[in-house]
Structure 1
Amino acid sequence: MTGIREGRPGDLPALRAIQEVVLAEPWQELLAVAVDGPPILLVATGSETEGGNDAAPNDAAATSNGPATPVGYALAVTDGDGDAGYLAELAVAPDSQGGGLGSALVDALVERLRDAGVGELRVTVREVDERAREFYRDRGFERRDRIADHYETGDGLLLVREIGGENE
């Protein structure tokens, strides 16, 4: 069973391992702070069923053997006004990719931000990363801006998804 829950300090070693393998330019300091808040840290745990994603945003993510091991996470911050959220990192362990965990994490994050009255979610991707651009496009994000030299290895694209927060 897969679940999505709040991150906690005990998740840090597993999340760092995912971060180091998946992300080209990980932000280790933000992840370390996020396990204690206030950045939003949602963690995907467990395993996918073959039929697709059975993630439940409010799942306690515990099995009869104890808390499930993190296999992915979404880390987001909000601006000072609470009008926009920024998805700083989204990572799923390589052996858990392709089963809908990334989508489930984005959906849970959007729900959380909407409930908090946030009106849009932003993310920056590498301009040359067609896979990431397609992933976010399929989840309702639209290109807003090109950011020269955003990454050590090139330019970025700012993508935005309106999420209908209370502040609209």
Structure 2
Amino acid sequence: MVAQPTVDLRDVRPEDHEHLRPIQNAAIDEPSPQLLRAAVDGLGIGLVAVIDRPVGYVFALVGETAAYVPEIAVDPAHQRRGIGTALLDGVAERTAKAGASALRVTVRVDDERAQAFYRTHGFREHERLPEYYGTEPAAGMVLSRPL
């Protein structure tokens, strides 16, 4: 068995933008450059996973009781190695310290892979959002887990 490289998590920095934008484009079906810019500019809580270079990131906004993760992305060449889990665990810890009692994400209703990932991490359906995604409207599902 091949040992997995060590993943370091750190706060996102403005200079990460040039490394994270290609990850966003490769990993997210409908990437939002504005959302990534807001994350690297310090809006909310942003973490970067680093293995010699940035290989993934997560961004969360903390509200009065819940934190919302609008984006979590891992370079496709590094997926299925625990990086997404490390990012999710890191942002859960940080948002709980910031006062959130729940963590929420939105996934496409037809994205079984994303749903399976979040369900293995304790998320359950919170609500459905008809016509939530994109130019060809697709339903979204908000998943939530207590912190």
TM-score exceeds 0.5:
yes
* 1:131 counterpart = 2:131: no
2:62 touches 2:98 (CA, 8 Å); kept in 1?
Answer: no
**Aligned letter for 1:32?**
R
SS of the equivalent of 1:107 reads helix
The alpha-carbon deviation at position 17 of structure 1 amounts to 0.4
Higher Rg of the two aligned structures = 1
Higher helix residue share: 2
Among 114, 121, 138, the alignment partner of 2:103 is 121
Tell me the amino acid that sits aligned with residue 23 of structure 1: I
Aligned residues: percent identity? 44
1:58-112 CA distance string (max 9 Å, x none): xxxxxxxxxx411000011122x2x111000010001100100000000000000
- Are 2:103 and 1:98 equivalent residues in the alignment? no
* 1:71-82 matched pairs, under 5 angstroms: 71-79=55-63, 81=64
1:114-168 deviations in Å (ceiling 9; x for gaps): 11121001100000000000000000000011110000141000100110xxxxx
Task: Work out which of the residue numbers 12, 17, 20 in structure 2 matches 1:12.
Answer: 17
Measure the CA separation in 1 of the matches of 2:133 and 2:62: 21
Q: Unaligned regions of 5+ residues in structure 2, if any?
A: 1-5
Contact 2:47 2:57 in 1 (8 A): yes
Segments of 5+ residues of structure 1 without an aligned counterpart are: 47-67, 164-168
Runs of 4+ in 1 over 3 A off after TM superposition: none
Deviates more, 1:70-79 or 1:128-137: 70-79
Paired residue for 1:44?
49
- Between the aligned partners of 1:96 and 1:137, the Cα distance in structure 2 is 21
